[in-house]
Structure 1
Amino acid sequence: MPVLAATRRYLRKALRGTLGLAIGAMTAFAEFFYVLFGGLALTIPTLRESVFAGAHILSEVERRRLEKYFGDRNAIDYDDRRAMVYLIPRCVIGLLSAGVFILILLGAGSGVIITYQLFNGQSPGGGAPADWYDPVTTALFGALLIFLSLQGLLGTATLDRKLARHFFGPSKQETLRRRVSELATSRAEVVEAVNGERRRIERDLHDGVQQRLVALGMLLGRARRTGDPDHASDLLRQAHEESQRALEDLREVSWRVYPIALDSDGLHPALEALAERSGVPVHLRVDLPARPPAAIETVVYFVASEAVTNTIKHAAATRIDIEAEQDGDEVRVRITDDGVGGARGSGGGLSGLARRVAAADGEFTVVSPPGGPTVVTAVLPCG
């Protein structure tokens, strides 16, 4: 199921990019004539400002096209003269992509004709009867042409995006503005994550430890008031058992706040302890050549802990897999279960994890189709 979902996402992305490239091929014709006649109009001083303004409009169309279909976010604070210079190589690349599309259409038409001839027992081109090797040769050449066509589309799309990035790449002001926006969002997410954690701790103390201590106090009070030694001994025994349960609840709360093993021994022993405490079998794989920073270890641990807790509560799973590995300057943790699926990243626990990961400049994803499996992934920088 995850492979099928990834394949569907890739196909949607490819179709979206192809559509964006096709639109860019059509706009290239208008840009070509604008550059041709606009360049002549620049020799007239009174028309220069109008020509540059028109170039800015056409460049803005291209910038928005790349943002919509390819996800490229380029700067918007470029001047009109730079827009005019951009249109010169841009129309060439656009016409090149138009040529690729035309060749694809011609090749598709030729393929239909040749296939029809082969099915009618004729060799490619018609006339003579087909030989046994004609279908094989046609299939091989067709596969080669399809490969070259795809390479042509990928090449022109790459050139188109790199050209826009060169001319409209984020300026220092735009980069600073984006970073300030990201920091403001991260700060709000950190505050929200801390408040959520505080509310959870308060709830655990109120519903667990506090109730145990109240019951303990009542048992001790009854033991003091009774005049029957046997009854008092029984009450003290119950009070002792209640105190043990209160200690267990308190250890559980303190473990969820911050496990001591994480601070003293590192991420691997903390995840092993998490797996041992789970009510569902957990299969753990950790591949970390070096110990990540303490802040990253904490986020990775709590992502795994909360994901395991959610699985036990809601997924009806029989197996949980936790994988933590380092890939270059990133740490990736992936939690997979074979439960019923249907988990949403906007849910209470998972949304809190998303905020915690975002506060560390990481990426958090949840893939949980109905029927499962559920895959929770967090990628965090550790450089």
Structure 2
Amino acid sequence: MSGQTGFHRVNQAVVIGIGLIGGSLAWGLREWGGVTVCGYDASPETVSRAQSLGVIDYGADSLEAAVHDADAIFLAAPVGVAPAILRELSRLPLKEDCIISDVGSTKGDILRTAASYPSLSTRFIGGHPMAGSHQSGVEAARPHLFENAYYVLAPLPGTPLDRVRRLSDLLERSTRARLVIMDPDHHDRVVGAISHLPHVLAAALVNQVYGYNQTNEWYHRLAAGGFRDLTRVAASDPVMWRDILLSNREPLLDLLDDWTDGMERIRQAILAGRGEAIEAFFRQAKQAREGLPERKKGMIQPSWECFVDLPDRPGGIGEVATRLGEERISIANIGVMESREERPGALRLVFTDQDHWARAKECLKRHGYSVFDPDTDPAG
């Protein structure tokens, strides 16, 4: 890093794109960061809704009006749109000490774009809060979404150190996340492996089974349990994932080559009937899976879940919900398992708060229910 000037506190921030991530960031900036937040979005209705919910202090009807007095600007627009917004910002008069950051899940592409504009190259710092939700839109925003999650910052080589410190200070106060400085190329490969590649594989598996189902409907009829869990992310927004994959093209191509090599090795083991090689394949995966860090917010696991063994009788689900409601435990989602193929329970409960998840398990066990944790119970 080069250059160090006076340390100026951020008092005025702008969030461009007020969905789940942008709205949660804006809300945290207001509530915990003590910052006045202006919101700008392609949808005026979204801006109005964000203001009525208390997510932002006020809205702007143009990008120029939004950023005029900004000490910090956050791009929370889709990955495919962010470069065009940077181009517009490069033409606008910004405050001398104004910092610009983003929240996209790829960093190399956006940083190369920022570096190409002299007016932005020393003020843009890539950012990626690694948390999310199964919900979307500003209505799903909450100020604690990023709490205890990793928040990656990827500055350009010539970024003044004081600007990195100012942004870090602001985000630590406003998000209560765990900030990490990371090389953008390293970030894109890591995130490509733990998020982007799994989305591709899930979509490919769903498409493959869909093709089989065209001539035999039993593929979809029996697609429950493990198949649904494994492919849940295939239901994500197609446009968003198109833009992410194109933005992270080179790392993802390398990862797909590695995946293809791995699949060919297990294919050859099956073809040759090498039982020891097949067992070793699954044993290594089992050990690696068990060695993953405990549940935390991040790209793969932004929620907590458990399974409840529930008799098939009228009112059973209502009783579970009532028990939890009496102790003010919030459930994000309830799913009735269509098959006990790989799970010991018949009811799947999802929580967005780890404390509520732990209290729910304790409550239900206290009332005589059998509760299973998918990460610690062998059957899960």
Indicate whether the TM-score tops 0.5: no
TM range (shorter): under 0.3
Larger Rg: 1
Greater per-residue helix proportion: 1
TM-score, normalisation: structure 2: 0.18
- Structure ranking higher on relative contact order (CA contacts 8 Å, 6+ apart): 2
